[in-house]
Chains A and B, each alone.
Chain A
Amino acid sequence: MVDKIKVGWFSFTCCEDNTIIFTELLNKNYKQWLSKIEFVHARIFRKDDTKEIKPMDIAFIEGAISSNIQEDKLKRIREKTKILIAIGSCAVLGSPSNQRNFFSRENLDEIKPILDRFQYKEKVLKVSDVVKVDESVPGCPMSETAFLQLMNKYINI
């Protein structure tokens, strides 16, 4: 029996619309995909202890990076995965989760107590600001067509 492809699905700062699109794409593809994939990290499906990141063939990353905690976690994921795919606009471009990067002084002053208290980063980063990205699926939510093309490239081989 061929080993299954080890996949991680991680959400950072975003609305998780790509996770929802993925679960909807599973509607028509689950028999094929689930026979070939083992989810080693995917909080939406199972208990997921990310204190220790497990080795993966592919890590899907949605969301932008708002804090040092998130930045450290993303770097640990990069170390453990062969391929890292940024999915959706927040991961690929930072937007719209990075909207505070463009706030007026007045807006920034209003949110400052929260940024300080929870140790937010000064600026919200896109994934490629932190780690090397091998593939990107743009869109808000991610483009289903582009995602399916990548699944064909990496999963359906």
Chain B
Amino acid sequence: MHDFDLNLDEISKIEGAASLDLKVRDNKIIDLKFSISEWKRFYTQAIKGKPAIAIPPLVSRICGTCSNAHLLASIEGIEKAHNIIPSPQTILLRKLLYYGLIIRDHALHLYVFTLPDLLNKQSILDFDTNVPLEHEMLDDTFTVKEVGNQLSIIAGGRSVHAPNLTIGGFIKLPKIEELKNLIPQLVEIRPKIIKLIQIYAEKDFTFKLKTPLTYAALYSEDFSFLEGVIRTCSSTQDVIAGQCQSIPENELGKHLEASIIPYSHARGFTFSGNLMMVGALARLNISKETLNQKTKSSVKQYLDLFPSNNLFHNNLAQAIEILHAIDTSIEIITNLSDITAEAPIKIQPAASNGVGVIEAPRGTLYYQFEINADGTLKKGDIIVPTGQNQIVMEKSIYELVEKLLDEGKDKDMIVTEIEKLIRAFDPCMSCAAHFLKVRWK
């Protein structure tokens, strides 16, 4: 029978800092706390009173890796508040910036954070260049990430905190020849991603929750991450039966119920009272049919695995999303005949409200703004994906540890398996720890 205490400080190979405390007595879990241990920076406070136009570049500093997701969601919220409709060209160029982020960010997670688990290595730095697969994966890691990085740099001026985007358009437009020159590199990484998809489909682990789970994601006709309505499905059976619910994105906030977690620096959420999950697995479960046609043709056998309740399929779903980002970017750039000089549409200050919702790499990102008549921000609310996943992450760890204890696994094995599962969620703690409205009892 097991008796042990476990404290995992600063779990490795995730974005930001998280910790786990676990107490087991007589083979039973007495206490389990998964917490976000980032130190807060109080962005929801800091944006109050600032001019609306200054908000996007500030909130992009909430998170390094998802910075351009925060930029685009906040821009959308402020544009909606002022009835600004961006031009078709602006929408296309924003998509290209965003696909660069999806390629770069998912590749970081899949190659650097989780692939070592699949290949029984501690770190990508331990990959042996004398082993052909490990050598190939090491080279692919940096080749793939660089193409995503370059796509975002060309489209937005930088892949982190892109300086060329603003409300109503672009401060500086990309050069069409630079985008066209990137096509051969996008084509070159395509087979590398198909190989990565194959590895995750064949080698990844399996863990399914016993507790029912609601999947939520933005649904659009072209799987763009940036537009659409919120769709929720309370099970994979509901997906198959076509019994999912749709709600307008500006009503999402009404359904997300904040839950204070006293030992965590961040708050968790449920969806209309149900355990919820957002991210690539939710997106693939809900809208795989809207992926790029070429992507669907190339990886049909792996798409057949969705809808899935295997939490590790979040990794496979991310790999498929990279392919979608590559294929759609190639299409958009190929069809671009010109980039027209357009000045950003200017804000006419007015007292107003606006909601911006996009699918960040790790799931639905929600911004809600109240703006004063003088154009300054009265109040803002930001709900990030890792907050929405925090409760299901803890629940999953609980069920996993119960299962491993029943199987008689030792403490080291339990630690390894917990870390793998946390990484499968691809949590982003920098995002999760900026909140304000926490009331301690």
**A interface residues, Cβ below 8 angstroms from B:** 11-21, 23-24, 26-28, 30, 34, 39, 43-51, 66-67, 70, 96-97, 99-100, 103, 107, 110-111, 113-114, 117-118, 120, 140-141
Nearest-Cβ distance from residue A28 to partner chain B, whole angstroms: 7
Give A83 to B50 CA distance when docked, in angstroms. Answer: 39
Give A16 to B123 CA distance when docked, in angstroms. Answer: 19
- Whether, in the assembled complex, B108 has its beta carbon less than 8 Å from a beta carbon of chain A, the answer is yes
Q: Is the CB of B160 within 8 A of A141?
A: yes
Nearest-Cβ distance from residue B187 to partner chain A, whole angstroms: 18
Give A21 to B149 CA distance when docked, in angstroms. Answer: 10
Give A49 to B239 CA distance when docked, in angstroms. Answer: 43
Give A43 to B38 CA distance when docked, in angstroms. Answer: 14
Q: Is the CB of B46 within 8 A of A99?
A: yes
| Given A20-B160, A28-B146; A110-B45 close (CB under 8 Å) | yes
Q: Is the CB of A15 within 8 A of B39?
A: no
- Kindly list the 7 A-B residue pairs having the minimum CB-CB distance in the complex, ordered from nearest: A17-B64, A27-B146, A46-B123, A66-B39, A27-B142, A13-B39, A16-B64
Complex contacts, A48 vs chain B, CB 8 Å? 10, 12
| Given A15-B61, A113-B440; A141-B161 close (CB under 8 Å) | yes
Nearest-Cβ distance from residue B30 to partner chain A, whole angstroms: 23
Most chain B C-beta atoms within 10 Å of own C-beta, residue among A21, A24, A140: A24
Nearest-Cβ distance from residue B314 to partner chain A, whole angstroms: 19
Q: Name A98's closest neighbour in chain B (CB-CB).
A: B41
Nearest-Cβ distance from residue B172 to partner chain A, whole angstroms: 18
Give A66 to B149 CA distance when docked, in angstroms. Answer: 31
Give A97 to B430 CA distance when docked, in angstroms. Answer: 12
27 residue pairs A–B, Cβ–Cβ below 8 Å: A15-B67, A16-B16, A16-B63, A16-B64, A16-B65, A17-B160, A20-B65, A20-B159, A23-B108, A24-B104, A24-B149, A24-B160, A27-B142, A27-B146, A43-B17, A44-B12, A46-B126, A66-B40, A96-B61, A100-B42, A100-B45, A107-B45, A111-B40, A113-B439, A113-B440, A120-B39, A141-B161
Complex contacts, B40 vs chain A, CB 8 Å? 66, 111, 114, 120
Complex contacts, A99 vs chain B, CB 8 Å? 41-43, 46
Given A24-B159, A114-B436, list of 4 further CB < 8 A pairs? A27-B143, A34-B125, A96-B46, A141-B64
Complex contacts, B160 vs chain A, CB 8 Å? 17, 20-21, 24, 141
- Whether, in the assembled complex, B290 has its beta carbon less than 8 Å from a beta carbon of chain A, the answer is no
Count of A-B contacts judged by CB separation below 8 Å: 133
- Whether, in the assembled complex, B80 has its beta carbon less than 8 Å from a beta carbon of chain A, the answer is no
Nearest-Cβ distance from residue A77 to partner chain B, whole angstroms: 14
Q: Is the CB of A45 within 8 A of B125?
A: yes
- Whether, in the assembled complex, B53 has its beta carbon less than 8 Å from a beta carbon of chain A, the answer is no
Within 8 Å by CB of B430, from A16, A44, A120, lies A16
Q: Is the CB of A15 within 8 A of B62?
A: yes
Nearest-Cβ distance from residue B119 to partner chain A, whole angstroms: 14
- Whether, in the assembled complex, B33 has its beta carbon less than 8 Å from a beta carbon of chain A, the answer is no
Within 8 Å by CB of A43, from B13, B67, B436, lies B13
| Given A24-B149, A99-B41, A99-B42; A17-B125 close (CB under 8 Å) | no
Give A23 to B17 CA distance when docked, in angstroms. Answer: 18
Q: Which of B1-50 contact A (CB under 8 A)?
A: 9-10, 12-13, 15-17, 38-43, 45-46, 48
Complex contacts, B122 vs chain A, CB 8 Å? 46-47
Give A60 to B358 CA distance when docked, in angstroms. Answer: 33
- Whether, in the assembled complex, B438 has its beta carbon less than 8 Å from a beta carbon of chain A, the answer is yes
Within 8 Å by CB of A96, from B9, B58, B145, lies B58
Nearest-Cβ distance from residue B384 to partner chain A, whole angstroms: 12
| Given A30-B142, A48-B10, A120-B39; A111-B108 close (CB under 8 Å) | no
| Given A15-B61, A39-B125; A47-B142 close (CB under 8 Å) | no
Within 8 Å by CB of A111, from B42, B58, B149, lies B42
Q: Is the CB of B65 within 8 A of A117?
A: no
Q: Is the CB of B13 within 8 A of A45?
A: yes
Complex contacts, A51 vs chain B, CB 8 Å? 9
Nearest-Cβ distance from residue A63 to partner chain B, whole angstroms: 9
Complex contacts, B94 vs chain A, CB 8 Å? none
Q: Is the CB of A140 within 8 A of B161?
A: yes
Nearest-Cβ distance from residue A146 to partner chain B, whole angstroms: 15
Complex contacts, A16 vs chain B, CB 8 Å? 15-16, 63-65, 430
Nearest-Cβ distance from residue A21 to partner chain B, whole angstroms: 6
